Structure 1
């Protein structure tokens, strides 16, 4: 009897063990969810387009039924001209950096059916229809062109473009990475002129990266990369008028002009906006350009005692050329309404919460459509706010991570929602937030995960030594025993304005964390000072000493966890990537008495090696603030390393250079510290391709099982 019972127990145990989230399942695509790609409202406001395997499909908002394909074929992106008589189709692409890519595009006339291969079928960058739909501007070989869609004639606007030297209408590496876009030109509203930025990067120091790729002799990737305190591109703004065929330089000498990150079209035919700043990014000039004569006037200056966020710019012009502007000036990011001359009319949104995204303005109801944290900093919800009365109406789910794609007339929107418990759903709603119908869910994905004992995050707060309550989540085993001591594995990113603690479906490391919990770990994440969602005071306290308060808060969080009855304080590990890798490196040095194990992937190890725009925004230059750089470098504390440390880096990382890992490695070596170091040949900051990710995550799992 006893023998039979034991055998049955073994069978049951084996069955339970098999119902787990495994790395094999994660990377086979077994848990992959469904999506709706390329959602865009059509001009009539009654139909929307999506990308499907067979082409660009047209759907009805009212019925959610497909009404056929707008174009047939396989395309990865599309852009309509303003009256939707033509469509620009991306057929083939080749990545350059994070946002930029070379593409081959077709322009199809949807009335005649005529197809034109842009630039004779050669690669271009950043193609854009003129507002009247008769032309497409584009960049090729760092020069700006436009092509007439009627005559097919190509006109070259600039001629001095040269790789690693001159860029016209195109961002250089650091602009693209840190201001968030590659395009630096725009058509005027009446299609008679283009305002563009020229970047002279000839004096910017050059970074070179060896590319091995099974070659007898490695080749080199060379590009301009301005590190903190070094020379940036010299930028200038230019006006090109189609009638004269000539460009003129715009005189910005009376204004801030070191950076020109934004070119914005207004509602007026002969007007354009430039947003500029000095090297110290604590003030931005908003400049109005007269595109008839090139004169420049200042509307206003946005300033801050620390920094102005020039990456996440909100500026939309209304029909009377007044405009909506996003600012953090009252301690949270909110919307402001200015008249066409730059005079403030009123603050539109107020409260101890933030506007995360701006979707548009409905002139029929005088309402702005926005995404906010008004239901708590870990949630993102969609609301409409009347710009005259300030009245706000919630139109999305009240919790979780919600976003919206609105119809052109704002009568409908497609809500994309998720939470820690539920993967993405796509629901069609009317303009008041009433559900019309569900378009897509991921119940099948969730069912598979539930069958494999998927772990759901719990949310709470953890105190730091400054008296703040820091947002946190925790993942505990299904059979959690509060009287048992578990090893703790902490994850974080911690970079300025970032958020890892959100009530949303985790498409990053979430499944791996579930796998680790099933191996007997508790996994937790804490957003300390410097992170977003909780106002500027909490976010900007790290100014001039990046890393100092962030690591203090991770150490404080680890100590707090260590005092909980269910955590083994002698078995606490930490993991992070990029800025998170920087933090993990500091944790195993400055926090060596608290953390037993750490994994740092692609870490910054000295901010002197990172780029100008990002680093100086938060730290100023090394020449101005040397202690801010050196006092918060893990290399400075290499002698303190005690625990088991694994550092991982790709040799072709164009963002956080392999040099960072090598410097820290040398610091550890010279202090006679033992550690593990994994190099990924020819891999960039994302470290992926082929079997790279499965191998990486298996290695990290094995490291933890052995050392934590």
Structure 2
């Protein structure tokens, strides 16, 4: 044997041996938190621009604390408050009043829906170290007045204000009633789809409190059985407007603190939706955003709450729909910054106080993905964008004139920033597909890193003992579009062999799954599948986000048409690769992704061998008004758009293996969706597997639930693909 052959043999032997020595990831490790990352919880920059606080957990004393750190040195200076010192249950959240002399501490928190919670709250006085229980009951959304001497909150659908100097609480509204009237808190569909809970606002001097009232009287009710452990199940009943049905009637009110008078604000044309309210820099001027039912006609009003005068400041209209954001920012002169997709990509605009366009601040064939704020001292705007590629995120500064743009982050991947109060510093959270979350202190002027704060090098070193395949990013030409794609291959991949492929997707409007960021729990599952010999692929098709409005909105009025076409065609193209077994391609997804995988196994019955659908929408007629009608209009207006893309109407086409999974207490995508699909499959004598998780919501978690769920899905894939 020649020397070169011997060297090659030894190299191959040790490569194979080293791979063989590495451990495969297990489901137990994934769902026991073995690969959990370190981070910074509830980060808050103080007004002095030199210090910040975070919420920390002390495992030894089983208590939480709000700890104070110095930006420059990163030294912990002191503990402001610790739950064990107050003899209260560990608090899970905190917030300061405006002058940072008081803290609001949340304890005994329990979830209502996705974003809403009930909790007991304490006000902690930083100077005296005394704490006071806000109310004996569990309450919602307590919020300090600007001066910090009062607190507004909601309990049992009514608004209260507590004077923190006198300890006297007064009730502002009295008509609140479950499943009828809600004051100051959003209803289910607003919370889920407009993504906010607190529907009341203090003005900048604390002299006015404006709020939205929701009249749910005519909204249809939905009920779910909660089985629990008792002899008879209980029933949860709540208002849930399905597509085409009645929404809450919304109205706007203002309470004057000194006169104790409540005024109904007369908005024009009885707005169908009020997705945002926010006080301007003028003491008595409230900004109000309204939308029509189709969500393609957005108005911004300025309302004088003392005079009850309303002025239209800005109107935007689209042929499709308009996304509501939280980016409205007022400058000292009451001019404002606003983000819009009106030129085809999401960008920042500067308008005068009267609504005249002063300047388009950012421009280009890329998207502003987050808006961090405006520094009145140097007149710089700070934002996050896709300027470095749609799968990446960077942080930028640009001045109010749209000049002197500076990229503040240096590493390619996903960067996000938390700025100090005076914008001297920012804490950057960076990750990529290869680097876990890394927090650094940076100088805002030039972006230069000052100091490491938190890294996950320990996790990275730990993962060296495991068989981890690279997540390979690329694009694939499908139906005339270059679609972003990632692929995970087996660690011992051999291009001369053929492998089964599992495709994952979500595909919802404006979403993104192909992103250069650190692993989720599912990514570790994909590594486990790769160790079993599967190639895992994800492709963001038409309708997904961050590639321009036209790409995103092409699915308007036809959810499930173009997205499904793209996944089916992509599977066909993957099947032509020499290392892919075209007869062993599967697909899975959750929620919108479950809608997609159901459609794919039915409409693409000759392409996909198996599919898993978790918590799927099976007909958009069953889903809520705000989300569904934004993209589909109503079923009455667009019946074919609803029916031609519903899995219910294609159940007779099932050929492959199909696993259908749902939680019985899913308040979001009701189990009704799966039950209807089951009926259709049974009617057509189609064999399939299914699992219902009792009393589990849309997330299907708790205890060993996720472990059992992913064990089931893994076994199904191994048996079916």
- What does the per-residue CA deviation read over 1:212-257, in whole Å, with 9 as the maximum and x for residues that have no partner? 11221110011000000000001101111112212111111x2460
Match of 1:270 among 274, 284, 306: 284
Structure 1 partner of 2:257: 242
Structure 2 partner of 1:109: 125
Matched, 1:457 2:471: yes
- What does the per-residue CA deviation read over 1:656-699, in whole Å, with 9 as the maximum and x for residues that have no partner? 00000000111111111100011101100000011100000011
Aligned length: 694
User: Matched residue of 1:122: which SS?
Assistant: coil
Structure 2 partner of 1:3: none
Structure 2 partner of 1:415: 428
Structure 2 partner of 1:156: 171
Shift of 1:278: 1.1
Distance 1:407 1:598 in 2: 47
Structure 2 length as normaliser, TM-score?
Answer: 0.95
Q: Does the CA contact (< 8 Å) of 2:44 and 2:52 recur in 1?
A: yes
User: Matched residue of 2:42: which SS?
Assistant: strand
Structure 2 partner of 1:189: 204
The 10-residue stretch of structure 1 (454-463 or 533-542) with the greater mean CA deviation from structure 2:
454-463
User: Matched residue of 1:509: which SS?
Assistant: helix
Structure 1 length as normaliser, TM-score?
Answer: 0.97
Match of 2:68 among 58, 61, 71: 58
Matched, 1:29 2:33: yes
Q: Does the CA contact (< 8 Å) of 1:256 and 1:276 recur in 2?
A: no
Structure 1 partner of 2:601: 588
Matched, 1:215 2:225: no
Q: Does the CA contact (< 8 Å) of 1:255 and 1:285 recur in 2?
A: no
Shift of 1:398: 4.2
The 10-residue stretch of structure 1 (159-168 or 454-463) with the greater mean CA deviation from structure 2:
454-463
Shift of 1:521: 0.1
Gaps of 5+ in 2: 1-12, 58-63, 84-89
Match of 1:144 among 159, 172, 186: 159
- What does the per-residue CA deviation read over 1:259-296, in whole Å, with 9 as the maximum and x for residues that have no partner? 01111121111111111111110011101111222211
Structure 1 partner of 2:194: 179
For 1:298-337, list aligned pairs within 5 A.
298-310=312-324, 312-337=325-350
Change (3 A) 1:344 1:697: same
Structure 2 partner of 1:47: 51
The 10-residue stretch of structure 1 (237-246 or 572-581) with the greater mean CA deviation from structure 2:
237-246
Matched, 1:490 2:500: no
User: Matched residue of 1:588: which SS?
Assistant: helix
Matched, 1:529 2:542: yes
Shift of 1:14: 11
Distance 2:26 2:582 in 1: 27
Matched, 1:514 2:527: yes
Distance 2:19 2:401 in 1: 62
The 10-residue stretch of structure 1 (606-615 or 208-217) with the greater mean CA deviation from structure 2:
208-217
Distance 2:411 2:22 in 1: 37
Structure 2 partner of 1:551: 564
Distance 1:85 1:339 in 2: 35
Shift of 1:38: 1.0
- What does the per-residue CA deviation read over 1:540-577, in whole Å, with 9 as the maximum and x for residues that have no partner? 00000011000000011111111111111100000100
User: Matched residue of 2:190: which SS?
Assistant: helix
Change (3 A) 1:255 1:189: farther
Distance 1:552 1:506 in 2: 28
Distance 2:610 2:461 in 1: 34
Q: Does the CA contact (< 8 Å) of 1:129 and 1:136 recur in 2?
A: yes
Change (3 A) 1:217 1:109: same
Distance 2:140 2:571 in 1: 47
Matched, 1:500 2:513: yes
Distance 1:665 1:126 in 2: 40
Structure 2 partner of 1:284: 298
Shift of 1:18: 6.2
User: Matched residue of 1:484: which SS?
Assistant: coil
Distance 1:541 1:383 in 2: 29
Q: Does the CA contact (< 8 Å) of 1:575 and 1:584 recur in 2?
A: yes
- What does the per-residue CA deviation read over 1:497-541, in whole Å, with 9 as the maximum and x for residues that have no partner? 000000001224100000000000000000000000101000000
Structure 1 partner of 2:100: 84
Matched, 1:124 2:139: yes
Gaps of 5+ in 1: 1-8
The 10-residue stretch of structure 1 (148-157 or 16-25) with the greater mean CA deviation from structure 2:
16-25
The 10-residue stretch of structure 1 (235-244 or 518-527) with the greater mean CA deviation from structure 2:
235-244
Cα RMSD over matched residues? 1.3
Shift of 1:15: 8.9
Shift of 1:199: 0.3
Distance 1:390 1:600 in 2: 48
